[in-house]
Structure 1
Amino acid sequence: MNNKEIVAKAIHQVVAEQLSFEQVVQLLENPKSPEHGDVAFPTFALAKAFRKAPQMIAADLAETIDGAAFEKIEVVGPYLNFFMSKGAVSQQVLHDILKQGTHFGDASIGQGQNVPIDMSSPNIAKPISMGHLRSTVIGNSLGLILEKVGYNPVRINHLGDWGTQFGKLIVAYKKWGSEEAVKAQPINELLRLYVEFHEQAEENKALEDEARAWFKKLEDNDEEALRLWKWFKEESMKEFNKIYDMLDISFDSLNGEAFYNDKMDEVVELLEEKHLLKEDQGAEIVDLSAYDLNPALIRKSDGATLYITRDMAAALYRKRTYEFAKSLYVVGNEQSYHFKQLKAVLKEMGFAWSDDMQHIPFGLITKDGKKLSTRKGKIVLLEEVLNEAIESANDQISEKNPGLENKAEVAKQVGVGAVVFHDLKNDRLNNFDFTLEEVVRFEGETGPYVQYARARAMSILRKANFTVSTEQDYVLTDEGSWEVVKLLQQYPEVVLAAAEKYEPSIIAKHAIKLSQAFNKYYANTKILAEDDQKEARLALVYAVTQLIKEDLRLLGLKAPDQM
């Protein structure tokens, strides 16, 4: 039971006729300052029922509430401030964490149900840029968080492996490319050709017609077009996998856009059967005025299908294949309208499960305040950023701990982790500007700071030769440890909130707060002092190492034992 539930239970025993247990829980607040206790209850909601001023109600309740679970209950005007029994709470929390380790905070609300997560989804023949980082790491973290609360995540890399850009690429390759150049540096060369096409096409409009003709050949299974398309795809995947390996991210499905080519006719047939298709200037649309949305364009006048048709085919396929409880699309904020239309069309078709599809939008990463763009070749390559981050981490570790044995491995864990953590500590809807120097610092609200706090805690345990005992009762009553104990105790609620809101930043913020609280405790407490509290203090340090490690894991980061 958490502090709010303990307080709510004590209050509810005396106001059961006026408020339900749930209503009491809803009214409870977290005081801004520790001097005002651990939980506060405002009595305004009882004024009408008791026909008294809230201040008087607070004074009366303080006399009648069972105070066994509290050190004291203070009345401050209309508020009741509850100070929890530090000994009882610390004993319970430390016992639970020492027994469960990193499984503390696990839940079973998902009941093993499938949750497809559409994430990452780079375009073939284009590099994975910093722009792809967010979808990739947010999607991966959500998978780990949902798994912790009992769901079965299915990570889907919906590759951009179809479309007119392949016509452009084939034209560019045949005019200005070579097999040797592509094999030597697949993505760089394919990107160069893509950019070259756009530059040339500004002067020579006929190139666009050539590109459309080659894409038509690809759609018609022309042998040369298919061979080049498959080759571009294979070479691209080799490059992509290097980056996914660095991030330690893998996928359960690589079914991209091309996979749904033969599945779109069924979607159009279903729409026809349900009399939902209307003709508009030669094109076919679905009227969504009932949803206050523009019509969904399903098929253009030349018979070509669109993104929405493909996404409908993908949604149907995923429902049939995974019988999902939820289906998540970790895609940028700018696609919000598309997903509203997609869900509305599926709803019109009678698929009630479209309500279980959720767009998980996120803001932009900018560089020097400007959006990153591929078409003009202004791009920040993710692989380069990760390598620079590893190098920066390596320099700092060499300075701090020159004799560290597995320095290269730790530098990789810290450097890559720094980039991922910086992304995930930001509320996902916020835009943020990326500066490498800010990200790979061992001070401030950074990944290396959190990793270093845990490494420091691990060194204390090694020095003390601490052995975990689940039989022993560890009790702490001092103010210094209390701030740490409260953050440990909140953990199950933190995990549930992150899962319910699809918000990894809740986990990252907990990791920062716990690291800060531990560092403050470490600075002000002689943890290894030989007295009767030494073992309890070490149990607290051990609990901190377990939950920081789990916080980092849920974000997709490693937790080195030494740094």
Structure 2
Amino acid sequence: MSLPFNVAAHLDARLRAAADRLGLAGRGFDPEVRVADPAHGDYQANGALAFAKREKQNPRALAQQIVDQAAELSADFDLTLAGPGFINFRAKPASLLTWLSTHDSEEQLRAGASASHAGQTWVVDYSSPNTAKQMHVGHLRSAVIGEAICRLLAFTGAKVIRDNHLGDWGTQFGKLIYGYKRWVDDEALMTDPIEELERLYKLGHAATPDGSPELEEAKRELVKLQTGDAQNVALWKKFSDVSLAAFQQIYDRLGIVFDHNLGESFYNDKVERIYRELGETKLAETSEGALVVFHPEHPRFAKQPFLIRKADGASNYASTDLATALYRTEHFTADGIVVVTDFRQGDHFEQLFLTVKKWFAAKSYRLPELHHVTFGAVTGEDGKALKTRDGGVIKLKALLDEAEDRAFAIVTEKNPDLSEDERREIARAVGIGAVQYADLAQNRSSNYVFSWDKMLALEGNTAPYLLYAVARVRSIFRKAELDPAQPPVAGATAPETAQELALARKLVQFADAVKLATDQLRPHFLCLYLFELAGAYSAFYAADKVIVDDPAVRARRLLLCHRTLITLETGLHLLGLRTLERM
């Protein structure tokens, strides 16, 4: 036998088959396979304890029966029982060698992982800035987390549709058009269009206070836009085009390419169907002139209506978000929809998804999986919202510029002999990667403290540490004048030393990290794995010389180096980072 890509899934299937032979499958037996403490093995199955307790059986005796029925696993694993009924599995060195020999490229790793979501279509909605406004630090997490989730889903077999749900419609455009027609600076619009549009909006807003004739004029500009006035529609399109061009400059630096930029405006003509169908299914009712949906069974929303049409007949976020959910289901035939926003929108999306589920059930529409992926705030080291020194919002472009500048200073200090072009290239990958990774390495539900010193450190769970680990592996092949794309690993023997074995076992667990990060839509699980893998490689590198005279030993250590390289690079690419050949 040989180990498949996902060893935990393999063990789960074999243990379920063993339980079935014992007559347990129909009684809810779950093997509960998980990565074990290395002191006990590679994997552990805990399911016998819970099942035996429920069935009033002896858990250790039951575990032994299961082991006896799964005797074929002994070809690849040493099986032991521990405590009241834990089943421990330690892969045999020969099996580790077979796994490492098979999974020899990023393509092979992807092929192994692709069964999870094969044949599925997932729409991921992330970033979603407002047009005519600059992206700021608050937009960072949605873009970085959303892109990592897209890559994880695609790696595990899904067709992924990236949708940038832009804020490109609404009352602010009346004030912007009002300001544009009076104070536009054409030269500024050419050189820094978003900055100029923000200036015009601020002027328009200041010039149109409540109750003023100027505000009525701005409202008339909005009505003209909404009713298709050619001049105002052309201006609105211009605002959208220059905004998208500016956003793409940021996305290029983060390695993001959207398939669609379907903003709120796209759904403007699709909301009437929403009102009609929610009315027909008796889900919506009129309350004080507005159309609302109640969820009386929900403890928090029983008296908090979900407003889907305002009393004046205008649509709102709920209207367009409902239309968006329907469009993604019908047009993209989505099996799953992921929306990535900060935690403050939690109530809105919980009510939205409740409404969608009831509405789709009433109309017999196919319901995709619905996930609202939330994240905490980015704070300064004082625990408060990250701001500029004068208290303003930090622009995302300025943040990325500073990341590259700081990385360039560090690279120049450590490698002054490199050409400036090389130092700039390294600084781009390290600086941007440091910002991305510092975000992704945190549990997304938590706030995280933004610290330049920590994120650019060469020690700890940081991008520079992992990028350096990649560069260090590559340096072994370079110094030995070997091609890392075609490592001379023929004749490699099974790992023997403690460090070789620990590294091999950690490499095999890549599948578990990818599955956990993808299933829970939490990239930090993959970050933690990569950090641990780099640590295992460092211990191996310190203990076991790679380029030795014995051809079999040299081959197996080069094999371990190469598989570490492809696994680190594959994992970092899944997180959206670019890797380097040298640092």
TM-score greater than 0.5 by the shorter chain: yes
Q: Residue 221 of structure 2: SS of its match in structure 1? A: helix
Corresponding residue of 1:442: 458
2:293 maps to a residue whose letter is: V
Please tell me whether residue 155 in structure 1 is matched to residue 159 in structure 2: no
* Range 55-64 or range 128-137, more displaced: 55-64
* Counterpart Cα distance in 2 of 1:321 and 1:556: 28
Distance of 2:267 and 2:9 partners within structure 1: 49
Q: Report the CA distance shift for 1:242/1:59 in structure 2 as closer, same or farther (over 3 A).
A: closer
Deviations 1:190-240 (A, max 9, x none): 223444555666798665544433322221223443233222222222211
Task: Determine whether 1:489 maps to 2:508.
Answer: yes
Q: Which of 276, 285, 308 is matched with 2:318 structurally?
A: 308
The Cα of 1:151 is off from its aligned counterpart by 0.7
Given the alignment, which residue of 224, 232, 249 partners 1:225?
A: 232
> How many angstroms does 1:75 deviate by?
6.5
Q: 1:88 aligns with which of 94, 101, 104?
A: 94
Separation in 1, partners of 2:61, 2:283: 64
Cα distance in 2 for partners of 1:552, 1:52 equals 46
Count of residue correspondences = 561
Q: Is the 8 A contact 1:141 1:555 kept in 2?
A: yes
CA 1:345/1:527 → structure 2, altered by over 3 Å: closer, same or farther? same
In the alignment, structure 1 residue 432 sits paired with structure 2 residue 448: yes
- Aligned pair in 2 of structure 1 residues 58, 430: CA closer, same or farther (>3 Å)? same
Deviation readout 1:109-156 (Å, 9 max, x if unpaired) = 323332111111110111111111111121211111111111100001
Tell me if structure 2 keeps the 8 A contact 1:363–1:429. Answer: yes
For residues 362-415 of structure 1, the C-alpha deviation after alignment (integer angstroms, 9 at most, x for no partner) is 2222234233689x9821111111111112222222233334463322221121
1:23-422 aligned within 5 A: 26-27=31-32, 30-32=35-37, 34-40=38-44, 44=49, 68-69=74-75, 77-78=83-84, 82=88, 84-98=90-104, 101-103=108-110, 105-196=112-203, 208-292=215-299, 293=301, 294-349=304-359, 350-351=362-363, 352-354=365-367, 356-367=369-380, 368-371=382-385, 378-404=392-418, 406-422=422-438
Summarize the Cα distance change of 1:213–1:369 in structure 2 as closer, same or farther, 3 Å threshold. farther
Partner of 1:517: 536
Does the C-alpha gap of structure 1 residues 106 and 193 become closer, same or farther in structure 2, counting only changes over 3 Å?
same
TM-aligned CA distance change 1:306 to 1:539, over 3 Å: same
SS state at 1:330 partner: strand
Q: Is the 8 A contact 1:291 1:344 kept in 2?
A: no
Q: TM-score, normalised by structure 2?
A: 0.85
Letter paired with 1:319: T
Alpha-carbon distance in 2 for matches of 1:399, 1:366: 29
Distance 1:345 1:15 in 2: 40
Is 1:536 the counterpart of 2:556? The answer is: yes
Deviates more, 1:473-482 or 1:445-454: 473-482
Shift of residue 330, structure 1, vs aligned partner: 1.3
Supply the distance in 1 between the matched residues of 2:31 and 2:104 (Cα, whole angstroms).
Answer: 31
Q: Residue deviations 1:479-514, cap 9 Å, x none? A: 112221122101122222222111221222221111
Deviation at 1:478, TM superposition (A): 1.2
Q: 2:331 aligns to what SS in structure 1?
A: helix
- Residue by residue over 1:160-194, the C-alpha shift from the partner in whole angstroms, topping out at 9 and shown as x without a partner, is 11111112222333455423333332122222344
| 1:548 pairs with one of 543, 547, 568 | 568
Q: Does the 8 Å contact 2:82/2:88 carry over to 1?
A: no
Equivalent residue letter for 2:432 = V
In 1, Cα distance between equivalents of 2:497 and 2:346: 50
Identify the residue that residue 476 of structure 1 maps to in structure 2.
Answer: 495
Shift of 1:549: 0.6
Higher mean displacement: 13-22 or 99-108: 13-22
Change (3 A) 1:81 1:341: closer
Distance 1:50 1:334 in 2: 44
**What is the distance in 1 between the residues matched to 2:273 and 2:179?**
34
Does structure 2 retain, via aligned residues, the 8 Å contact 1:57–1:78? no
- In 1, Cα distance between the equivalents of 2:577 and 2:96? 28
Contact in 1 for aligned 2:150/2:160 (Cα 8 Å): yes
Unaligned runs of 5+ in 1: none
Change (3 A) 1:123 1:54: closer
Structure 1 contact 98–468 (Cα < 8 Å) conserved: no
Partner residue in 2 for 1:502: 521
RMSD of aligned residue pairs (Cα, Å): 3.5
The more displaced of 237-246 and 281-290 is: 281-290
Q: Aligned partners of 2:18, 2:513: CA distance in 1, in Å?
A: 27
Q: Secondary structure at the match of 1:297?
A: strand
Question: Quick one: which amino acid aligns to residue 320 of structure 1?
Answer: E
The AA in structure 1 aligned to 2:582 is Q
Task: Give the equivalent residue in structure 2 for 1:557.
Answer: 577
Q: Secondary structure at the residue paired with 1:278?
A: strand
Q: Structure 2 CA distance, aligned partners of 1:225 and 1:52? A: 76
Match of 1:462 in 2: 478
- Inter-partner Cα distance in structure 1 for 2:283 and 2:58: 61
Counterparts of 1:50 and 1:261 in 2: how far apart (Å)? 57
For residue 258 of structure 1, give the secondary structure of its aligned residue in structure 2.
helix
Task: Determine the C-alpha separation between the residues in 2 that align with 1:380 and 1:140.
Answer: 21
SS of residue matched to 2:134: coil
- The amino acid across from 1:84 in the alignment is R
Distance 2:117 2:61 in 1: 45
Q: Structure 2: how far apart are the matches of 1:174 and 1:164?
A: 16
Q: Is the 8 A contact 2:469 2:534 kept in 1?
A: yes
CA distance in structure 1 between the aligned counterparts of 2:162 and 2:16, rounded to whole angstroms: 45
Q: Deviations over 1:1-37 (max 9, x none)?
A: 46657877589869963855998873556554x3434
Q: Decide whether aligned partners of structure 1 residues 471 and 112 sit closer, same or farther in structure 2, where only a CA change above 3 A counts.
A: farther
Q: Aligned equivalents of 1:135 and 1:348: distance in 2?
A: 28
SS at match of 2:410: helix
- Partner Cα separation in structure 1 for residue 554 and residue 264 of structure 2: 60
| Residues 1:77 and 1:282: Cα distance change in structure 2 (over 3 Å) | closer
Q: How many angstroms apart in 2 are the aligned matches of 1:224 and 1:36?
A: 72
Percent identity reads 33
Instruction: Confirm whether residue 17 of structure 1 aligns to residue 36 of structure 2.
Output: no
Deviates more, 1:534-543 or 1:433-442: 433-442
